[in-house]
Amino acid sequence: MKKLAFATLAGSLLLGTLNAQAADVDNAIEHRQGVFSAMKWYFGPMGAMIKGDMPYDQAEFTRRAEQLAKLAPMAEEGFVEGSAEGTEALPAIWEDMDTFSGGFDKLESTTAALVEASMSGDMAQIKPAFGDVAKTCKGCHDNFRED
């Protein structure tokens, strides 16, 4: 009887652990997708201003650049082991985490540079800084995201 009770308890603990791990993976996916959605929210109108599809507003552009720079370091922590399935994340992320993580380091530095450039109000500085952020995003998408 004691063996049955112990086996039942052990099984319950194991299932509880597995459920917690699944919830952690689900939360991680939700976190990173939310961060990327917010990044798109801030980045999209900046691109429209750069292209001339909407009027350039230095204060608004700078505000968006600052928010983007705050978000840049947040998404990476949502890439936990086992969180690729059912998403566009490629297994290559976990096979080469150093390169993947380096992309986030670059994203942090390029968004910080974009904030600095945006404060100048000079499109000759802003456009290349914006392009560097876009290239950084594209580089990660090309290597670590399923199309």
What's the CATH number where 46 sits?
Answer: 1.20.120.10
In total, how many domains does the chain have?
1
Q: Note if the pTM is more than 0.85.
A: no
Q: Which structural domain, as residue segments, surrounds residue 89?
A: 2-144
Q: Read out DSSP for 38-60?
A: HHHHHHHHHHHHHHTSS---HHH
Per-residue confidence (pLDDT) for residue 9, from 0 to 100: 42
Per-residue confidence (pLDDT) for residue 2, from 0 to 100: 56
Residues of the chain short of pLDDT 50, as ranges, are 5-7, 9-20
> For 65-100, how does the pLDDT look when each residue is reduced to its tens digit (9 = 90+)?
999 999 999 999 999 999 998 899 999 999 999 999
